[in-house]
Amino acid sequence: MFTSETDETAADEAPNTDVNAEQQIAKIKKKQTFLMQLEKTYRLPASEVPRAFLWELYFSVAMEFFPGAGFDIIIKRILATFESSGFVVQGAEAFMPGTRIIVKKWGFPNPDAVELWLTLRNVYKALGQHVLAEQAKAYAKITWALFMGEDETFNCE
């Protein structure tokens, strides 16, 4: 059987998923360590002194999923992102009947918050937590309305 030079090159350049996953995990851990170090420089909690400038870093960590990451880790990362900008969210980690997500305090506004709420909704859907999923979707819609001035164009289906 004949193989072309491009076939051999493509095989040589095929990504090693184990190495890529390890590199991705190392990158996430490095970001998390950096965030923890930055958080230590504050005397007051983010609910009192929002870290608006850290949103992008927290957001990138929350949105980077790596193989083997449990849903609990993803939820914690999402909540840490909200907390970094001053949000106080309760009930998002409890999966007991009757649990509700409550935003006790809205934080510094960020347009990426809509995507974050919808990611949280998708995690809840994957876990079969449909009530919490609908609540996260409702908060996404509220956030959309805050930024767009209306909610009629909100569509997450």
pLDDT, position 3: 40
Evaluate whether 33 touches 69 at the Cβ level (below 8 Å).
Answer: no
37 is written with which tokens? Answer: 């170090």
Give the pLDDT score at 125.
93
The overall longest dimension of the chain from CA atoms, in Å, is 69
One DSSP character per residue, the chain reads ----HHHHHHHHT---HHHHHHHHHHHHHHHHHHHHHHHTT-SS-TTTS--GGGHHHHHHHHH---TT--HHHHHHHHHHHHHHTT-EEESSS--STT---EEEE--S--TTHHHHHHHHHHHHHHTT-HHHHHHHHHHHHHHHHHHHS-STT----
The domains of the chain are located at: 5-148
Could you tell me the mean pLDDT of each successive run of 10 residues in the chain, 157 residues long?
Answer: 41 53 79 83 87 84 73 90 94 85 92 93 92 95 92 84
pLDDT of amino acid 17: 54
- So what's the pLDDT on residue 67? 57
Angle, alpha carbons 93-94-96 (nearest 5°): 155
